A and B are shown apart, each in its own frame.
Chain A
Amino acid sequence: MGLLLDLAKQYKVLSIVGMAKNAGKTTALNYLIEEAMDDGMILGITSTGRDGETEDLVTGTEKPRVYLDNGTIVSVPSQLFDLADAGLEIVERLPYSTSIGELLLCRVQSAGYVQIAGPVAAQDTKRMCRNMFSHGAEMVVIDGAIDRKSVAAPDTSDAVILATGAVLSRSMNKVVEETAHIVNLYSLPELEEGTARTLLEANITGNVTDTVMLIDKDNNLKKLNLTTGLGASSVINDEITEDTRYVYIPGAFTNSVFSDIQNKKFKHVRFILKDPTRIFVRPIDWNILRKKGFQVSVLKNIEIAAITVNPWAPLGYTFDSDALIQEMKKVIPDIPIVDVRK
């Protein structure tokens, strides 16, 4: 297929994010690893959860193992190091703590199965990617855990592979709908270049001290005494006046950020978020918000490099792979969709 070569031209750090557990993240990872073997590319592999164990910790279902080729750079915690069947050379001890021991950066010296785990915090994952490149990795792949999406943040990775599949629902329409919702969120419009953007960027430090900020029609910026929007919807509502044009929320965007904001205020205000991974609103609430006239932009959106589908669910039902891909393509026409099990 040559999916990997195309991706490597554009992106250095790729994360695999799942719509749900058992959506096929590890299968997608193995697919990329296989392609890298064929192309002789050196990958750096890490995981935000744990990969390569034979059985799932939660559901007890069988999980695909991960076979790594010579030269691959991989992060392995000390307690999993002994379990690896590949020959691993430790190239660096990393300062990041994981719950299962000190994290080791290893180079595979003789190909084999490896159990992988990485740092628990996305910030640390980002720093570790740099170490991987300095040890010769040409591209880094971060495998997500469960349905955690925070590694998709543009801070951490250049692009994502979205793994979706039958496990989401017994109804194919629902699978397509939920996947499309995430795709829509990830491709939200970025705040256009202009005074508002310049103003915000000058005032965002990227630290936890960043506050909720308002910009009015005369481009006056006001910092609220709020380092989070969580639970602060009534305060934010009180601060929004007729002249307010933009509201910047520094962290997560949940129902508790907007629930007390009056409907008429949605009409003339645009919410600005850091990136789409900050949104924690169910599709149904999201659509209601949109109907109320809610407008939102992000500072940076997320590039979806490809979507992988797994037509098989561990609960025992399957969809026809071609039909599923066809339905997906109808709503998501611009992104390559592949069944990695084929």
Chain B
Amino acid sequence: MSEMKTATTVADLTKVKPYGDTLNDGKMELAFTLPVPYGEEAEECAKQYVKKLGFEEPNVTYYKELTPGYTFFVVYGSAQATIDYTQIKVPKVEGEVMDRVACGEWIGENIGRDITVVGASIESDAHTVGIDAIIQMKGFHGHFGLERFKNVVPYNMGSQVPCEELIAKAKEVNADAILVSQTVTQKDIHIMNLTKMVELLEAEGLRDKVILTCGGPRISHELAQELGYDAGFGPGKYAEHVMSFIMQEVKNRGWENKANIADR
């Protein structure tokens, strides 16, 4: 019975809640803006709002007028809800992830030819940050891009590329894989653009002849399946993740000697 007298020191994974100062105190920081004029009433409003969300002991630690009629808040509170961590299942990209050098060597040994990929940020999206992080030589966050990979021939088409042009380019250079980047997600525009891309590929009879992947801050591998893509890469995924998937997929499909799209 003695162990019951002290607070739990081991997290119960079937009832997980946030950690602040001590285990299971549920402490969370929330930051948001309300369309109310700055003042004590605003502070009270934020407090009540957070309480309504189900938090206990809400504490407004900071608030500031953004512009007349709008106030920004930082609020601390104790969350009450718990999650059963042991029941969580997230679909993931299968296969081994290798680093840049290993990828290059693996392709040399197992594919015996260069792998060609074409990437772009498509349609209305003007952001190159995603596609550059994966393709451009300097890469992102210390992870070099595909341009530095051995045995990989990448084409970076930039942003606002119509689906038609991306497909035409993929055909022209006999791409093994197409990388589609979507950064903007307001009003689910990324869903519309990604759907258009896959539908056009189907109409062109190319869908089963290229490996189609997508990436972006709001893209998960699970969403990729829903949209009809072969893989999806979200935050925290770099060029080596993308290339590891593509090269193993090329092998799985037996495309080692099928550099031409027409042969696949």
* A57:B226 contact, CB within 8 angstroms: yes
Among B91, B171, B195, the residue within 8 A (CB) of A227 is B171
Asked if A317 is at the interface (CB within 8 A of a chain B CB), the reply is no
Separation of A234 and B104 alpha carbons in the complex (Å)? 41
Contacts of B188 in A (CB 8 A): 58-59
* B226:A145 contact, CB within 8 angstroms: yes
Asked if B209 is at the interface (CB within 8 A of a chain A CB), the reply is yes
Separation of A252 and B222 alpha carbons in the complex (Å)? 27
Separation of A191 and B185 alpha carbons in the complex (Å)? 41
Q: With contacts A58-B188, A146-B195, A251-B204 known, what are 20 further pairs, Cβ within 8 A?
A: A57-B223, A58-B226, A77-B225, A82-B89, A98-B225, A99-B230, A120-B225, A120-B230, A121-B208, A121-B228, A150-B198, A207-B262, A208-B204, A227-B171, A228-B171, A231-B164, A231-B165, A251-B205, A252-B200, A256-B162
Asked if A97 is at the interface (CB within 8 A of a chain B CB), the reply is yes
* B203:A101 contact, CB within 8 angstroms: no
Main SS at interface, chain B = helix
* A99:B224 contact, CB within 8 angstroms: yes
List, sorted by A's number, 29 A–B pairs whose CB atoms are closer than 8 Å. Answer: A49-B226, A57-B226, A58-B188, A82-B89, A99-B225, A99-B229, A99-B232, A100-B221, A120-B212, A121-B208, A121-B228, A123-B207, A145-B226, A145-B228, A148-B199, A150-B202, A150-B203, A208-B205, A208-B209, A210-B205, A230-B168, A231-B164, A231-B168, A250-B205, A251-B203, A252-B164, A277-B202, A277-B203, A280-B200
Interface size on A, residues (CB 8 A): 48
> If the complex has contacts A48-B228, A49-B228, A120-B228, are A99 and B204 also in contact, measured as CB distance less than 8 A?
no
Contact mask A35-50 → B, CB, 8 Å, 1/0?
0000000000000111
Instruction: Please report which residues of chain B, range 36-74, place their CB below 8 angstroms from some CB of chain A when the two chains form the complex.
Output: none
Asked if B256 is at the interface (CB within 8 A of a chain A CB), the reply is no
Separation of A256 and B123 alpha carbons in the complex (Å)? 14
CB distance from B39 to the nearest CB of A (A): 33
Asked if A131 is at the interface (CB within 8 A of a chain B CB), the reply is no
Among A83, A148, A254, the residue within 8 A (CB) of B195 is A148
